[in-house]
Structure 1
C-alpha cells in the first residue's frame, strides 16, 4: 500500500534538522535564494512525471553521496585526466543515474541565485522531492552544506554497502556512519521504489534458499545465469513507482530482490521491525523521514570548508 497521507507535516523533523548539526538550517537560503525549493520541486516534478524511476535514482544518488566522506556532492564530480572521482567506483559504475537532473536544477538555481547554493544541498532537496512525488513522506531538509573539492573512488568501493552483504556487515557499515541498525532497516525501505540490475541479484535468485521459489523463477526469466547483467527488475514487484511499505511485506513473503534486502528478514535481529513496518505504513513513513534527516547530516562541509561549485561536475 502506498503512503496515503501525501502531505505529511513533520514538525519534529524541522527541529531535528536545526539541531542535529548547528551549522545547518532549513532556512539557510531564506534571504539569499528564496526561490531554491520551488525550483528544485519544479524540475523534479517534470523529471519524475517523465520517468517515475528517476525519483528512486536521485534517492540512491544521495545515499551513495552521503556514505562516502559525508553529504558533500562528491559523487557528482566527473573524472578528468588528473582526477579520479566516485562515478566509476564499483557500486556506481553503469548504475548511478540522475546527474543530468541535478545539472538542470543547478543551471536554473545559478540563473536565480548565482554562486550561492551548493550541489550537495540541491541533491538533498531533490532526493526529498523524489520520494514525495512518488507519494512518500516529506521532511524538512537542513541546508548549508558546501561542496567537496575532491572525491574518493577507494572510499566509494569500500564504504557503500553491497547488495550481497550479510546483515552483520550492513549493521556495521551503517554504524560507521553514525546510523543505527533501525536506521539501516528503515532506510533500506527506499527500495520500495526503483529497479536493480541483474548482476546485483543473480546470486540471490539462483543460489540462496531464503527466497520464494515462484518469485525466484519469475526473476530468472529476465536474469539468466550468465549474460544480461544490465537487465532490470523492480525492487518492489507490486508498486515500484509508489513509495510505501510493500517492500517489507515482500520480505516477509521471501520476495526481497537483493540478498541484502532479504537479510533484513532472515531470522535475525531486524525481523520484528520488518513486521512492524509491514503492518503499519504510517510508522514506516514517519521513521523513514526521520532517518533521512539523520543521514543527510553525515559529515557535511560547512562554514569555509569546501566550496560552492558553479558546475556540479567539476570544481571551480
Structure 2
C-alpha cells in the first residue's frame, strides 16, 4: 500500500535516482539542486517520498525560495522532478504526493511541466499563468522553417516602435558583481514587483555561479554616473545565446532594450538568440530587435493555500508574476544536459 514517508537520504536517494535513470547526470547535480540552494540551507530539504513496503514508488522534489508575494517577502517552494514509477501510475499515488506537497508551503510554483502533469495540477487546485512566452531571433537558418521564421521576424520588426537608450554603458563579466552591489540593486528594484523570486546575491550565486556543470556570463548595465542599473544572465554555446535571467527595475523598457541589444552585439556571430519571459517590456524590446514570439507557451502553475487569499487582497495567485527562463528547473537541467553531452562527446578515450 502506498504511503508518504519522511525523506531519509541514506535509504531513499539511490532509489530516487533510479526513478530518474534516464537522466545520466542527476547524481552529479543532486547536492547542488536540492541541498546547497539557499532555501534548503535555511529550511532543510523536505521532498515528498511515496513508498510501498519500503520501496520508493514516487517522488516530488522541492526547492525552497524566498519570493515577493503581492509586494511582500514570504517563503515559498518550487515543485520539481515529480515522478511515479510506471507500474504505480493511475493508482492515486500522484494525488497522494500532491496532497502532501500542499502541506509544506503556503505558495507552490511549478514551471516547464508536461501536459499530463498540467492536467493533474488543475484537478488539484493549481492555476495556470498564461503570460510566459518563448522568444527567439534566428540569424543563420538551418531549415526552410527557419527561413520562414526569419521573414516573420523581419515583418514583426517593421511594426515595432523605436525605443530610446539614455546613455547606458555595459560590460560583460565571468562573475557576478560584489554581494553589496547585487543586494543594493535588488533592494532598489524589489518594490516594483508584485510576484517574483527574490534575486539577491545568495540566490544568484547559487543558481548561476555554483552550478557544477553549466557556465553563465553576466552583463552589467551601468548608468552614465557608473551606478549598477541591471544585470542580465546569459548562457552561451556554440550556436545560441540565451538570456536566462534579469535583475533590475520592473519598469524600465529602455534599459531592457539596451540589455538585449548588448547581448546581440557581445556575441554577434551566433545562429540564434532566445529568452523565456512573462515580462511585457522584455517582449516589446525583443520584438523591436527582430525576435519572434512563439505560439507555444511554457507551462507555469501556481498553488496558494486559502490563507493567502484574504479579503483585503484577493487577487488571483497566478497573475502579476515576473518570470524568466532561469526560474525553471528546466533551464537548470537543460544546461546540465548540454554540458554533460559536450563532455562525453569530447572526452579522451582511455
Whether TM-score is above 0.5 comes out as no
Q: Which has the higher strand share?
A: 2
TM-score by length of 1: 0.27
Give the structure with higher Rg (CA): 2
Q: Which has the higher helix share?
A: 1
TM-score by length of 2: 0.25
Relative contact order: is structure 1 or structure 2 higher (C-alpha 8 Å, sep ≥ 6)? 1
